[in-house]
Amino acid sequence: MVDNNQITLKMYQSDYIPRGSSVLVGRLAPCIGVIIYNPPTKEAYAGHYPISLKVCNNGGLENLLDIAVEKFGDVTETEVFVSGGRIRKEIKKTVMSNRKEVNRILRKYEFKDSNVHIRWTPEYERGVDMVLYTETGEAGLYRGGVKFMDLRNLSG
């Protein structure tokens, strides 16, 4: 899909994604990308977090979630998409710790389990792009601009 209203987030960036736009959280390997999507309003918030989740420009993942939850109100329909966290031997301990921290933080916000879609980047991937289209709610992982995984059904 081509989208002239695409917002691209690089490392350390987070942003509000308005209706009628898409977001690309790019080149996720050990970094972790998170998209919080509200289907009723077709709006989202997204962030691209490096190895240390707390060093992001807006104060980290919890701050982004606080903003999204305040804006969206009732989170029963809110969906969360997570990718990245690729394990490499030399940083395995840090990446595993980050994965656990993301899960802990998401549980704190009480999103419905069926609305949390996590797909950690496999070891063999050099990096993937996570994309969400706000109008349709389509969310997927892309490699070289080609979609290879739907984040809702988590099949290849």
Torsion of CA 17, 45, 49, 114, to 10 degrees: -130
* CATH code of 46's domain: 3.30.1330.200
Q: What is the pLDDT of residues 67-121, one digit of tens each?
A: 999 999 988 999 999 998 888 888 888 888 888 888 888 998 989 999 999 998 8
d(CA 133, CA 138): 5
Residue 64 is assigned to a structural domain of this protein: yes
In a domain, 37, yes or no: yes
DSSP 112: -
Task: Report pLDDT digits (tens) over 28-71.
Answer: 988 899 999 999 999 999 999 887 655 444 458 888 999 999 99
* Number of structural domains in the chain: 1
Full-model pTM: 0.91
141, part of any domain: yes
* Domain range enclosing 35: 6-150
Does 155 map to a domain?
no
